[in-house]
A and B are shown apart, each in its own frame.
Chain A
Amino acid sequence: MSFDVVGFDFLEGLTHFLKVFGGILAAALVVSLIIAFLKYGPRGFGLFFKTIWQAIVDFAHTSPRRVWAITMLTWKESSRKKALFVFVVFALLIMFAGWFLRSSVDRADLQLKVYVKFVLTAISWLTLPVVLLLSCWGLPTDIKNRSLHTVVTKPTRRHEVVLGRFFGFSLVGTVVLLVMGVIGYFWTVGQMPAEAKSELVGRVPVYGDMTYSNREGNRRQDASEESSGVNVGDIWEFRSYIEGGTKSRTFYDFDNLDVDEIREAGEFRIEYNFEAFRTHKGDIDKRLACQMTIVNNTNGLRVPLPIFEVHEFSNRAADKTIILGGIDEDGNRIDTVTYNEEATNELKTVNLYDEVLEGGDITIEVQCLDPGQFLGMARPDLFIRMPDRSFASTYFKAVFGIWLQMVLIIVIGVTASCFVKGPVATLLTFGILVVGTGFSELMQGLAAGQTEGGGPFESAYRMFMHLNPTTGFDEGPLKSVITMVDQIAIGFLWTVQHLFPRFEYYNMIPFVANGFDVPWEASLLPSIAVTLAFVIPCLILGYFSLQLREMEAK
């Protein structure tokens, strides 16, 4: 895979959420209290607490029946708005997609990428704008047509209206997504040629922690920049390189491997994807030679595996897989590994599960054997492949990811439409979507104060004084003042950035396209967490907005 898979720490995320949510809630309450006081004088305190108490009562008396009624109303309205016409566009795309994708590639793994990317992107791009528009225009239209008056004059609570809208639009989106998802699945499977069907899997990788040793063999354990390999000048700094014919190695450390699961699967499968870099032509018709050594950190056993050649970018699984164990020609299980001991070159046989993998704490060392040549690798370039999951499971997990994203957009759209009119709500939601999708990294950099040239005031000062971002800033009182003001601004930015969901979590297409299972920790869990983190605050915001909104105002 061409990107690193980093796990999501749920507890840390939850703590972070509570801090931000609590902070914003407290600030909102204080500001509301001040406004109530300024507007109504001492009477404002009473009104403030009454409103809060009313909210608690309303939420406590939520009626599922009323919520369901509004859900169904939303469904009917959406159907009348011909939202389901989106199916026609999808059908057209599916019918003619083959024309545009047919000549892209011949290789099986590449075909999977192209088809999966097309189907899942088409589904996202068709459903998300539809639900965005529906959710942003639903309530404003009701208010404009005064149909909301008939609802709010009945014993319906405002948050039930908001919840009903959430559920209603989500139901519409779910139906659309489900139909498209199922059609897309069968289309993808159908498009794949018979010889490429084997690519339709959900591989389950276990990644290790990666460190390097330098050419003298000194291993650096920390994960700082110094512990990386050699930079060969590749514009893409994803991979780091080790020098061949030296003591330079890459170490992949695996802790707590599930040896029982591996034993049950009957084989230990290592998959890798290394890149070669030549400093001289060498033997032009031979690929670089490499070797892996499995080191058991519990019993100290070192098992050098047979030398192999690097087939970079190859689509043949056999070119990038080392299998230990498995089944012999007679159909019997192989539970042993035979190797030449490093020191004595003596042939030895050991048990794979009880000795090589004992304790599940192992390190895989990788070395390049060709002097003067380099071998490039990144953390996701080597993993232990556990038993596969089905393609359907990974595909529908990605569809679930789109669904979560869709629900989030609905939640934001409906909430926005509670306090602004349709066009503004659309712009606001679209803006949040764009910033959350494309500018998340920039926002994080700004909020962390890591951007070159300093915070907003320092940057403004630099522009005014014609100082470029890399020029040093003279120490002195001016710098202290600017830095202090910037700290406040950055603190504000830090809070604001949390109002933009990180949509990058929802993009599960690369996993499916590369034949991997969508991981729970790195993708599904953060997606669910982000959606849930926005539902509760948005519901509260929507409730108060609708409660305080003047319905007569069109």
Chain B
Amino acid sequence: MNRISSQQRKLVYLIAMGLLLAPIVYFGAPGDGSDDSGGQLSQLRSEYDLGETSLGNVDPASATMNLVLLGLRGIASNMLWGQAVEQKDQKDWAGLRATVDSIVLLQPHFKQVWEFQGWNLAYNVSAEWDGVADRYEWVKEGAKFMMRGSGRNQKYPELAWETGRILGQKIGRADEKKYFREFFLDDPTRDGGGPDPDINPAGKDNYLVAKDWFVRANEVEDQPGISQSRLARVLFRSYPVRSQIDYADTFQSEGKFDEIERIREAWEVASTELRNDWGSERFMTPAGAIVLEANDEILEAIIKEEGERFSLAEKREWVNRRQNMSNYRYWRLRCQVESEEKTINAHRNLFLGKRALIDRGDVVEAERLLTEGMVAMEEILSEWPELEQEDNFREECLKAVVLWRGAKQAQGKEVPADFPLKNLWDSYPVEAAEYTELFRTLYGG
């Protein structure tokens, strides 16, 4: 039989509890935010950046859910994932949205969940809707979801990058880009108009907002111990300037030539950022560090810094490889050419010529403008012959010739044997025939 009394037993329990409390306090005492504060667990958490606060914004709902589910959140997430797939198949968009929210409550720091579902909403779900405004709404949903993911995971540069991609390329390059870009500045669901403050608080062009997100992605990626697994680093780092180029290019292709100064400025910014930011950044290669905007002087300085471990020839070789990989020389040339006033004027003349022919049927004016544009383009090509290899530039020139021939034929004139851009026309007969056929299909003649 037990020889100690009830009171004694309670005392023993109390002492045991007190003794057990000591290690709990030692290991589990909360810290005050500094690295070496709190108990052992707190210090380890801080050392390895495992705390919720060090990963990103804290969502109390998410933390509660994970606490309640103990170790079963993986299973719960899997079940929810299956449910989300089924809801998408059965077009239960409300259910899908709610399920996706539940999944991220369970797995707030699982990067692929954010990437996959953000893409799913912006690309797949939006494509299921027939109305353009509805599609835009889901693109926004996807972008907002990705933004939320980026906020909750401030150590994943990919999430900021994906946000930029949705805002830039999805909005700017979809079939519905004309409407999407308008909606980005004047949201159809907002009373009184204006942009949706959640994705475009400053009311900027979509490519410029995308650029901000790409810059943010680069800033995250800059932090020590953080890397991204999306693209080769040299390409990943190019996206801010690529977005700036897209902005300038789109502004131009939309024919907003009444703001010619803005176009020129946009190209100049792109050119400067290309050379000074992306081009001057150091990238690691098997031959040590290199920069894309390299000359022998810069490379020799790097070699010296690195203790002469690599030769200049090796450095040149790797610069060349990385330039090829990222198409650097082309982008540099493009920015340089496009920021020239004569290039902008050439684009403008070709654009206005097309509008005169197609929209107004003013064949005389069309011929004049197109001829001026073609002459300017020929000059540009002779100055920078490598542009001939660039698809968009070549397409614009060949299409201009097709339109110009159409304008001539509409006036009953013969197409002369020699004309501006003839060399280009003769060099690419297949493309020339294709554009001529397209013109006939669309406009007859």
A interface residues with partner B (beta carbon < 8 Å): 2, 96, 99-101, 103-105, 107, 109-110, 113-114, 235-236, 238, 275-276, 278, 281, 284-285, 287-288, 310-314
**Could you tell me if B90 and A2 are in contact, using CB atoms closer than 8 angstroms?**
yes
* Given A103-B101, A105-B97, A310-B130, CB of A284 within 8 Å of CB of B176: yes
Q: Which residues of B sit under 8 angstroms from A314, Cβ to Cβ?
A: 134
Chain A contact residues, majority secondary structure: loop
**Docked-complex contact A110 and B94, CB < 8 angstroms:** yes
Asked if B4 CB lies within 8 Å of chain A CBs, one says: no
CA distance A517 to B93 in the complex (A): 22
Q: Is the beta-carbon distance between A2 and B94 smaller than 8 angstroms?
A: no
7 pairs of A and B residues whose beta carbons are closest in the complex = A110-B94, A104-B98, A276-B130, A99-B61, A235-B89, A113-B94, A236-B89
A100 adjacent to B130 (CB under 8 Å): no
Mask, B85-120, CB within 8 Å of A = 1, is: 000011111110110011001000000000000000
Q: Using Cβ atoms and an 8 Å threshold, which residues of chain B touch A110?
A: 93-94, 97-98
Q: Is there an interface contact between B130 and A312, defined as CB atoms closer than 8 Å?
A: yes
Instruction: Give the Cβ gap from B433 to chain A, nearest Cβ, in Å.
Output: 24
Min CB–CB distance B185 → chain A (angstroms): 17
- Does A113 lie within 8 Å of B89, measured CB to CB? no
Check if B102 sits within 8 Å of A100, measured CB to CB. Answer: yes
The distance in angstroms between the C-alpha atoms of A114 and B98, with both chains bound, is 7
CB distance from A516 to the nearest CB of B (A): 15
CB contacts under 8 Å to A, within B60-82, are 60-61, 64-65
The answer to whether B61 and A100 touch across the interface, beta carbons within 8 angstroms, is yes
In the complex with contacts A284-B176, A312-B129, A104-B92 CB distance below 8 A: no
Contact check, B64 vs A109: say whether CB atoms are below 8 A apart: no
Cβ of A236 and Cβ of B132 under 8 Å apart?
no
Q: Does B305 contact A (CB under 8 A)?
A: no
Is B92 a contact of A105 with CB atoms below 8 Å? no
Q: How far is the CB of A94 from chain B (nearest CB, A)?
A: 15
CB distance from B354 to the nearest CB of A (A): 20
Nearest-CB residue, chain B, relative to A107:
B94
Contact A287 B105 (CB under 8 A): no
Q: Is the CB of A99 within 8 A of B175?
A: no
By beta carbon, the residue of chain A nearest B60 is: A99
- Within 8 Å CB of A276, what residues of B? 130
Q: Which residues of A contact B64 (CB under 8 A)?
A: 96, 99
Query: How many residues in B have their beta carbons less than 8 Å from beta carbons of A?
Result: 24
Docked CA distance A105–B131 (Å)? 19
Decide if B129 touches A104 in the complex (CB within 8 Å): no
Interchain nearest-CB distance for A287 vs B (Å): 6
Interface of chain B, main secondary structure = helix
> Which residues from B are CB-within-8-Å of A104?
94, 97-98, 101
A287 x B90 contact (CB < 8 A): no
Residues on B with beta carbons closer than 8 Å to the beta carbon of A284: 132, 175-176, 179
> B90, A313: Cβ atoms under 8 Å?
no
How distant is the Cα of A284 from the Cα of B127 in the complex, in angstroms?
12
Q: Measured between alpha carbons, how far is A506 from B326 in the docked complex, in Å?
A: 61
Excluding A284-B176, A287-B131, A313-B91, 12 further A-B contacts by CB distance (< 8 Å) are: A96-B61, A99-B64, A100-B65, A100-B102, A103-B101, A110-B94, A113-B94, A235-B89, A284-B179, A285-B179, A287-B130, A288-B130
With the chains together, A358 CA to B176 CA distance in Å? 47
Contact of A101 among B89, B90, B98, B129 (CB under 8 A): B98
Contact A2 B130 (CB under 8 A): no
13 contacts between A and B (CB under 8 A): A99-B61, A100-B61, A100-B105, A101-B98, A103-B101, A105-B98, A107-B94, A110-B97, A114-B98, A235-B89, A238-B90, A284-B132, A285-B179
A364 to B328, alpha carbons, bound, how many Å?
A: 63
CA gap between A99 and B65 in the complex, in Å: 10
Q: Which residues of chain B come closer than 8 Å to A313, judged between CB atoms?
A: 91, 93, 129, 134
Interface residues of B in 25-74 (CB under 8 A from A): 60-61, 64-65
Could you say which residues of chain A place their CB within 8 Å of the CB of B131?
Answer: 287, 311-312
Given contacts A100-B61, A311-B131, whether A109 and B94 have CB atoms under 8 Å apart is yes
Closest to B176 in A: A284
B95 nearest in chain A by CB position: A113
Is the pair A236, B175 in contact by a Cβ cutoff of 8 Å?
no
Contacts of A103 in B (CB 8 A): 101
Please give, as numbers and ranges, the residues of chain A lying within 8 Å of B95 by CB-CB distance: 113
The 0/1 profile, CB within 8 Å of A marked 1, for residues 128-147 of chain B is 01111010000000000000
CA–CA, A2 and B89, complex, Å: 11
Q: Which residues of A contact B98 (CB under 8 A)?
A: 101, 104-105, 110, 114
- When the two chains form their complex, are residues B105 and A236 in contact, meaning their CB atoms are under 8 A apart? no
Residues of B164-179 contacting chain A, CB below 8 A: 175-176, 179
Residues of chain A within 8 A (CB-CB) of B102 are 100
Chain B CB within 10 Å, residue with most, of A104, A114, A238: A104
Query: Residues of A contacting B93 with CB < 8 Å?
Result: 110, 313
A437 to chain B, nearest CB (A): 15
Nearest CB of chain A from residue B144's CB, rounded to whole Å: 10
What chain A residues lie within 8 Å of B65 (beta carbons)?
Answer: 100
- Shortest CB-to-CB span from B74 to chain A, Å, is 18
**Is B175 a contact partner of A105 (Cβ separation < 8 A)?**
no
Closest to A110 in B: B94
Q: How far is the CA of A101 from the CA of B97 in the complex (A)?
A: 11
A314 to B89 CA separation, bound complex (whole angstroms):
18
Hey, which chain B residues are within 8 Å of A113, CB to CB? 94-95
Select B130's contact among A101, A107, A109, A278, beta carbons within 8 Å.
A278
Measured in the bound complex, the distance between the Cα atoms of B95 and A104 in whole Å is: 9
CA distance A276 to B134 in the complex (A): 13
Q: Indicate if the CB atoms of B61 and A2 lie closer than 8 Å.
A: no
